[in-house]
Chain A
Amino acid sequence: MPLIGDDGAEHALRSQVMGRLVAGVAHDIKNPLNAMSLQIALLGDKLEGTADAGPAAGHLAALRDQIGRVNDVLRRLVDVTDPAAPLGYTDLGALLADVGTLFSYEARRRRIDLGVEAPAGSVRTSCDPARVGRLVLGLYGRALALTPDGGRFAARAEAKKGEATIAIEHATGDPDDDLGYETEVLVAGAAALGGSFERARDDRQTERLVLTLPRNDRE
């Protein structure tokens, strides 16, 4: 019996194409950002020594900051949707932090009490970075979708002996049948990478999801 049905396969296809689209869109946005950044530098240069230099400096700095913000969002989006981490490891902490930031708008909109504990650099896995990126994105998205508005959501990356884990604990609302295949995908995906995926419900109100992957403790 296939792991996922036709519907799931369509989702997978769409997800893959979306990843490529994101990379293209990011490039298309970065070029205007670059032009803006250069124009601001040029403007600052031209104003230097004039009476307007002082008052304009604050505005120019604010514009530079905004360009930096847009660039940061893009960077996270591309890193998460099209991961290509170097040297054969994936920094689960950095990945979880980026995913958390990208989903933060949805969390704010739905008043979800969000907590992400993701120390960068200390939790690394030796698994294929692209597959790990997809699994973490799917895990986080699934858990957030199941969290009811105003509910609690806590995610944490942690290193334990030979394992690197991402644990998510979240309040549960009504079960969504459409998300059932995602659990199967996570279980199969983690196993294929030499790890595991476990799901536990304590009191019918809290769900605990743990993705465990082989750890890379190379410095």
Chain B
Amino acid sequence: MRYRVLIVDDEADSREALAELTQRWGYDVQTASDGTEALRRAIEGHPDVILTDLVMPNMDGLWLLRALRAELPDCPVVLLTGRGTIQTAVQAIKEGAYDFIEKPLEVPRLRIVLERALEKKETMREVQLLRRRLAALAPGTDVIGSGPAMQRVFELVNKVAPSNASVVITGESGTGKEVVARAIHNLSPRKEKPFLALNCSAIPATLIESELFGYERGAFTGADQRRMGNFELAHNGTLFLDEIGELPIELQSKFLRVLEERKIRRLGGRSEVEVDVRVICATNRDLKEESRRGRFREDLYFRLHVFTIGLPRLKERREDIPLLVHHFIEKFNAETGKRVQGVSPPALQMLQGYGWPGNIRELRNTVERAMILVDGEVIGEEHLPPDMQSSRPEAATLRLPLGIPLDKVEKEYIITSLQKHGGNKARTAEILGISEKTLYNKLNRYAAEARERAGEGGGADPDAGPPPAAGVKA
């Protein structure tokens, strides 16, 4: 794709030379000799970036800039000025210019400014696309994802939300279990009623009972007044119990009884209180296995598992990373008053290549950190954590001659990646975006091919081992 540049200068020599130079850099160039002509050409041709002289007869650069803000608000404008004072720069930027360059132009700087302006334009375009996609996704919820794994989750959420069924949400820590629970609540007839979340692992075992069921005055030392528990507080609404596997076994029968009878009794209380609460649980444990080991009641397990939703790990839905990043940027922009527009393509590539052991929570924290560090409008690689930068898969390069079969390219790539990761097959498979099993199958096939060739009397097989070190540029 050739980017379109509009060059505006009343000096014919400068204009034509600049046009020829930028053409040689691979841009599609149009020219105009004053602001009026430039505005007409810009509206007709929708350039990707405009380079304009500041001082021109008739309509000058600032006039053009103001007119362009209305007509083509996303098109970056670079002003070329005769005298580069800070006032000029401040005025130009205030008026919406992307940058300004002082004459006589330093050509390398001009080239960099052009590239950055286009990068910004690309980022803005991506942002627009993401905004549209976000708006179209699961309206009424904060669940974000457009890939097949999350589409399946949306389907399940939409199906189960209108009912009263208990739901178990499974997934690794940080995959967004509470967000999905809230989505179920928000899409249910209970959406106007309370949604309460309680993390069973965050509360000492001795306090969970009083947290869930409340207590009467005098129930225990320090209970100086009656206190309602989460079940009562969530009446007519939804109670989300995270880490349900941490619920003490002695409390599980009481919990099951509440689910069955829809009645609770406060600690120290004599009468029962009716509650209408929808319970959604989440766990990152295998409850069936816990049940087999006697750590989780089987009857409770079956009572809860009316409907199960499994959340994928972030690395299994890398296609959703741009959407999630954009969502967090918007969120932090709103909270901090910053005006970050997006992420540079190399930084996004790095984010999509990372393993994300902490899943979405880690991604959220990474974006928050980057937004603290960034001063401009675009998050770059330098704003990402150093360990993420060093682990980037693109940090190593594989050079291969053109004209070799595709299956050999794949083989070289896989073996070099394996070498790069010190023979760690799990990590290599993760980086390559394939399952460990697939990686093993491929490696076994390569080994079999090598043995076969050696058996044919071919001697040392250049394909059998790793490629020569000289082919790898770290």
Contacts and interface: CB of A to CB of B under 8 A. Distances in A.
A and B part of one assembly: yes
Contact of A33 (B86, B90, B104): B104
A34 B87 contact: no
B91 to A, nearest CB: 11
A30 B107 contact: no
B173 to A, nearest CB: 46
A74 B20 CA distance: 27
Interface in B75-106: 80, 82-83, 85-87, 90, 103-106
A188 B138 CA distance: 74
A71 interface: yes
Interface in B11-37: 11, 13-14, 17-18, 20-21, 24
B82 A35 contact: no
Contact of B107 (A27, A32, A38): A38
Interface residues of A, number: 23
B86 A86 contact: yes
A94 interface: no
Contact of B82 (A31, A39, A41, A84): A31
Given A31-B14, A42-B17, A42-B21, A37 B83 contact: no
Chain B interface size band reads 20 to 34
A30 B21 contact: no
Contact of A26 (B11, B17, B83, B90): B83
A120 interface: no
A84 B107 CA distance: 27
A188 B28 CA distance: 60
B20 A42 contact: yes
A36 interface: yes
A114 interface: no
Contact of B104 (A23, A27, A30, A45): A30
A34 B24 contact: no
Interface string A55-86: 00000000000010001000100100000101
B64 to A, nearest CB: 18
Interface in A148-173: none
Given A30-B103, A34-B105, A39 B11 contact: no
B85 A84 contact: yes
B55 interface: yes
Nearest to A75: B83
Interface in A70-117: 71, 75, 78, 84, 86-87
Interface in A14-54: 23, 26-27, 30-39, 41-42, 45
A37 B85 contact: no
Interface in B50-88: 55, 80, 82-83, 85-87
Contact of A45 (B24, B80, B83, B87): B24
Contacts of B80: 34
Nearest to A23: B83
Given A84-B85, A86-B85, A38 B55 contact: no
A38 B14 contact: yes
B83 A34 contact: no
**Which residue among A41, A84, A86 has the maximum number of chain B CB atoms within 10 Å of its CB?**
A41
Nearest to A43: B17
Interface of B: 11, 13-14, 17-18, 20-21, 24, 55, 80, 82-83, 85-87, 90, 103-107
5 contacts: A30-B104, A34-B103, A37-B107, A41-B21, A84-B87
Interface of A: 23, 26-27, 30-39, 41-42, 45, 67, 71, 75, 78, 84, 86-87
Given A37-B105, A38-B18, A84-B85, 10 more contacts: A30-B104, A34-B14, A34-B104, A37-B107, A38-B13, A38-B14, A38-B17, A38-B104, A38-B107, A41-B17
